[in-house]
A and B are shown apart, each in its own frame.
Chain A
Amino acid sequence: MMDKAAVVRIAREEWRFWLRSRTAVAAAAVVFILVITSLVSTAIRIETEREARLQLQAIAEETFRSQPARHPHRMIHYGHYVFRAPAPLATADPGVDPYTGTVMFLEGHKQNSATFSPRYTQADAGPYAFLSPALTYQLLVPLLLIVVGFACLARERETRTDQLVFTMAVNPGSFWLGKSLALAALAFATLVPLGFVAGNAWLQGENGWIALTFWLGYAVYLLCWVFLITACSVWSKRASTSLLALLACWMVLNVLLPRIASSAADAWAPLAGKVQSDLEIARELRDVGDGHNANDPSFAKLRAQLLAQYDVSSVEELPINFRGVVAEAAEEELTETLNRFADRRFDQELAQAELANAFSLLSPYLALKSFSITTASTNIGQHHLFLRSAEALRFSFVQSLNKVHAEVLTYADDVNRSVDQQSEQRTRVDAHHWRVLEDFDWEPASVSDRLSGSLPFFGMLLMWALAASILGWIGTSRGAWSQDG
């Protein structure tokens, strides 16, 4: 039988014990300071970067649209820049943001890579130099819970005070539950600052359900640790054994497994580099034809088609500029190839990420990490979304300019512009055409995608919490107490 009053009483007494312990108070203070520091410093860093990138984006758009009269193909090579602004919840979990490029050059005939990842200009400060709020909750708060709670039951057994409690009609089950409750209360106390971050993201335009789910995921994760700790404490005869087991658990689950997962994913499913893909693309494109050269034999069919359509005998007589038509057709065919290789790269990256995610079953830490970036929309899928939106923008403005090239310029001027100054002047089209450039706004993945994507990881976290609580519950009847006789 569970005695609710007894459970609460036990929890309250445990808190009293902790507040008298200098180590517990000091550990809690240190972790709280680290959490707050990481919250503030990450928020400042991400917000500064967001502003800088949005500002540069506006400048880039303004610059493109205010270019003087030019040959439209010049504008295709002049190109455009897009900047990746971090998602609102990136202030809580930056995810892949530090490792992905922030600026990308869009031009005709080419898909460039996103350059200048935040890492590019950073000094090597070791593996844990970025204490994001997410990382402090994932890595450090469990450590605090361990240090404070490892002895919660084992200590009572060592000093035999447990027998005293049992004489007061409290059974081991309530005793264990009370201690778990005390530790859970501490865990929830640490979650208060994260609540502010989630709330702030909500105020900044993040979906309310997302913000709430994000916070809940961390709550369940910490609950996993609460139950792991009390379970260990139940099963261990000595407090020192409990501490050793918990620290070993923490090291394996939180420090070792994530890295094993990523090394394994890389070794199992290697990734083709971008330079290598570019070379493969170049090899494949040898057959597509060069869009700069309207005499390229690859366009013979197109030429015959157009001549028949307009019922004329030479390209000079066409009412449209054949060079522009060729540029448009070539760009379309080329983009198809480029997109195929880009998709291959996305698939490979996703496959690797999924292989690494499979390890989430073995580690609640990994499950939470995947949950966190999926919900916050700072995962690799979000980066792919950025790359796809950028590509869509590239294709749209390049083809709009090619259309201008085909419809506004005359073929004769276009052919002679390199040798004749007047033709060169006439091939410069009015600057109002540069308004074809659309604003670059790319949205985070949809709320339902983010929620459904994070659901499996949330399920894993619940399973871990459940399994650990069952382990602890069984321990109350079969663990060290039963051996005491």
Chain B
Amino acid sequence: MGNLALEVRYALRERVVIASLVLAFAMASYAVITGKLEVDEQRSEISTLVRETESDQDHVLGQQPDAGGAAYYVHHVTYQPPSALAFAALGSRGELPWQHRVRMLALEGQIYETDAGNPALSRLGRLDFAFLTSVLLPLILILLLYDLDGRERRDGRYELLSATSASKGSPFFVKAGARTLLLFAASATPFAVMAAFVSAPLGPSLVVAAVVALHLCFWLVICRLVAVRFTQASSSATVLLAGWLLFSMAVPAAARIVVESSVPVPAGGELLLAQREAVNDAWDLPKADTMEPFVASHPEWRDHAEVTQPFEWKWYYAFQQMGDEFVASESAQLRAGITRRDNLMGVAALLSPPLATERWLTRLAATDRAHHQRYIQCVRGFHAALREFHYPMLFGASEYSPEKMAGLPKYQPCDE
């Protein structure tokens, strides 16, 4: 340990080391601060949405004379609040919708609506803590370590150093370890401060720090392996860069192509077209064509399913639901396909530590695909609850009254 402390002191005397540490610290601070600003922005947006939706609902409900109108005109807002650690890994929140405005119509026509960030910025990506640790820190570490042996060789101190070293292993391993440790401290400190500031849960925060440390350890080992094998500094730099390219770009890109071609998903456009036909065809078909299959899958409404007028609300909502059920299997295939792709990508990430790091961090921050899927499920659950609430009044099993609408389900984010 004494050796390590000594090496840390030596390292801190070098300009390159100081510059790298300052850069890493500055970037990490920038990343967590802009991440926090973004999360704050999203939280305030959610509270605005909830407030505005309530006032909108109050306004709309006051005007509705019947159950059908109340169900038709009232909109609800659903959302996925950012987790406490979201500031560290914004993940899919810029690209996939985390808020929806839904109503009692067929859900398949609404759930794919996309309220996402600015594509012009998504294209550039964000500098969040996850990007910093998965992509940039390895690069900085490579710059710090590639020349460690080469320089001593060039200056003619290599043999002397190796011969006089007190430790059993290579003196360079301790040297490299000291630099890695410093880099870890410089980048993890801003994260730790921000995590404490937003009172993020301790356990997951520690796991984040551990993931970062593990990732740096991986690159420390790679750097040492290469440095021992290639005596020339420039060759070792080239090889390390190639390694960085391989792990950060080539493996993920190749894995993505393999995963996507082996797990096909239904085309979204086709699903939407099919869903619309199913819903709209009902207008031109005899009412029985809608109501019979409807009571077959929802026998609880058998006694209330008779339709006599050219237009009745219960028939209207029945064919909305039948439209959803018509594409239910494609929709389920789509979700299963997305989940399967992501799971396979998780396996492929074993071959790419940078990707594994990024995926771990987004998972801990609840901003990964799996959490997005869970949010979508949550919206589906809420929509089902809406149907359950409205159907008795629509089918005439109970009388509509404005007072009853006080019991209208309110969206609650599902527990993570």
- Taking beta carbons and an 8 Å cutoff, which residues of A are in contact with B? 23, 27, 30, 34, 41, 52-53, 56, 59-60, 63, 68, 70, 74, 77-79, 81, 83, 95-96, 98-103, 105, 112-117, 119-131, 140, 143, 147, 150-151, 239-240, 243-244, 247-248, 251, 255-256, 258-267, 270-271, 273-276, 278-280, 282-283, 286, 348-349, 352-353, 356, 369, 373, 379-380, 383, 417-421, 424
- A420 and B311 alpha carbons, distance in the complex (Å): 10
Please name 16 pairs of A and B residues whose Cβ atoms are closer than 8 Å in the assembled complex, sorted by A: A23-B234, A63-B277, A96-B122, A96-B123, A117-B95, A121-B338, A123-B369, A124-B369, A129-B256, A150-B234, A240-B151, A251-B139, A274-B115, A275-B77, A417-B310, A418-B309
- A426 and B280 alpha carbons, distance in the complex (Å): 19
| B289 lies within 8 A of chain A by Cβ | no
Instruction: Give per-residue flags for B123-167: 1 if the beta carbon is below 8 A from chain A beta carbons, else 0.
Output: 111111001001110011011000100110000000000000000
Which of B118, B124, B245, B248 has its CB near the most chain A CB atoms (within 10 A)? Answer: B118
Contacts of A380 in B (CB 8 A): 118-120
User: Known contacts A121-B334, A129-B253; is A418 also within 8 Å of B136 by CB?
Assistant: no
User: Known contacts A27-B238, A78-B276, A123-B345; is A96 also within 8 Å of B120 by CB?
Assistant: yes
Contacts of B116 in A (CB 8 A): 99, 117
| B337 lies within 8 A of chain A by Cβ | yes
Report B349 CB to chain A, min CB distance, Å. 8
| B109 lies within 8 A of chain A by Cβ | yes
- B118 and A424 form a contact (CB under 8 A): no
User: Known contacts A127-B125, A274-B115, A356-B121; is A23 also within 8 Å of B238 by CB?
Assistant: yes
**Number of A-B residue pairs having CB atoms within 8 Å of each other in the complex:** 276
- B310 and A352 form a contact (CB under 8 A): no
Set B48, B113, B136, B354: member contacting A255, Cβ < 8 A: B136
- B269 and A103 form a contact (CB under 8 A): yes
Contacts of B150 in A (CB 8 A): 240
Q: How many residues of B contact A (CB 8 A)?
A: 103
Report B145 CB to chain A, min CB distance, Å. 12
Contacts of A421 in B (CB 8 A): 310
| B403 lies within 8 A of chain A by Cβ | no
Contacts of B59 in A (CB 8 A): 286
Contacts of A123 in B (CB 8 A): 256, 259-260, 338, 341-342, 344-345, 369
- B112 and A259 form a contact (CB under 8 A): no
- B122 and A122 form a contact (CB under 8 A): no
- B234 and A151 form a contact (CB under 8 A): yes
Report A479 CB to chain B, min CB distance, Å. 20
Report B38 CB to chain A, min CB distance, Å. 6
- B358 and A261 form a contact (CB under 8 A): no
| B386 lies within 8 A of chain A by Cβ | no
Smallest Cβ-Cβ distance to B355: which chain A residue = A126
Set B118, B237, B252, B344: member contacting A243, Cβ < 8 A: B237
Set B123, B143, B249: member contacting A131, Cβ < 8 A: B249
- A105 and B283 form a contact (CB under 8 A): no
- B269 and A102 form a contact (CB under 8 A): yes
- B37 and A267 form a contact (CB under 8 A): yes
Q: Which 9 A-B pairs have the closest CB atoms?
A: A116-B268, A259-B127, A123-B345, A353-B120, A274-B115, A99-B119, A262-B124, A380-B120, A96-B119
Set A125, A143, A248, A280: member contacting B252, Cβ < 8 A: A125
- A232 and B348 alpha carbons, distance in the complex (Å): 39
Report A367 CB to chain B, min CB distance, Å. 13
User: Known contacts A41-B257, A247-B241; is A256 also within 8 Å of B354 by CB?
Assistant: no
- A270 and B311 alpha carbons, distance in the complex (Å): 45
- A79 and B255 alpha carbons, distance in the complex (Å): 39
Contacts of A418 in B (CB 8 A): 309-311
User: Known contacts A121-B268, A270-B41; is A56 also within 8 Å of B112 by CB?
Assistant: no
| B187 lies within 8 A of chain A by Cβ | no
Set A120, A147, A248: member contacting B238, Cβ < 8 A: A147
Set A30, A129, A256: member contacting B127, Cβ < 8 A: A256
Set A79, A115, A124, A348: member contacting B342, Cβ < 8 A: A124
Contacts of A140 in B (CB 8 A): 245, 249
- B245 and A356 form a contact (CB under 8 A): no
Set B52, B109, B311: member contacting A283, Cβ < 8 A: B52
| B300 lies within 8 A of chain A by Cβ | no
Smallest Cβ-Cβ distance to A238: which chain B residue = B154
In the complex, given contacts A120-B338, A123-B256, what are 14 additional A-B residue pairs having Cβ atoms less than 8 angstroms apart? Answer: A52-B269, A60-B273, A63-B277, A123-B341, A124-B362, A126-B354, A143-B245, A147-B238, A240-B147, A247-B142, A255-B135, A260-B127, A266-B126, A278-B101
Report B228 CB to chain A, min CB distance, Å. 17
Contacts of A131 in B (CB 8 A): 249, 253
- A418 and B92 alpha carbons, distance in the complex (Å): 46
Contacts of A99 in B (CB 8 A): 95, 116, 119, 122-123
Set A53, A121, A125: member contacting B355, Cβ < 8 A: A125
User: Known contacts A56-B273, A121-B334, A125-B345; is A256 also within 8 Å of B27 by CB?
Assistant: yes
- A263 and B95 alpha carbons, distance in the complex (Å): 14
- A115 and B119 form a contact (CB under 8 A): no
Report A145 CB to chain B, min CB distance, Å. 13
Smallest Cβ-Cβ distance to B35: which chain A residue = A263
User: Known contacts A56-B269, A419-B310; is A273 also within 8 Å of B115 by CB?
Assistant: yes
Which residues of B (22-73) have their CB < 8 Å from a CB of A?
A: 27, 30-31, 34, 37-38, 41, 45, 48-49, 52-53, 55-56, 59
Smallest Cβ-Cβ distance to B233: which chain A residue = A240
User: Known contacts A123-B256, A282-B56; is A115 also within 8 Å of B112 by CB?
Assistant: yes
Report B265 CB to chain A, min CB distance, Å. 5
User: Known contacts A113-B114, A126-B134; is A27 also within 8 Å of B242 by CB?
Assistant: yes
Instruction: Give per-residue flags for B303-322: 1 if the beta carbon is below 8 A from chain A beta carbons, else 0.
Output: 00000011100000000000
- A17 and B10 alpha carbons, distance in the complex (Å): 38
Set B136, B139, B234: member contacting A240, Cβ < 8 A: B234
User: Known contacts A123-B256, A243-B237, A262-B124; is A267 also within 8 Å of B38 by CB?
Assistant: yes
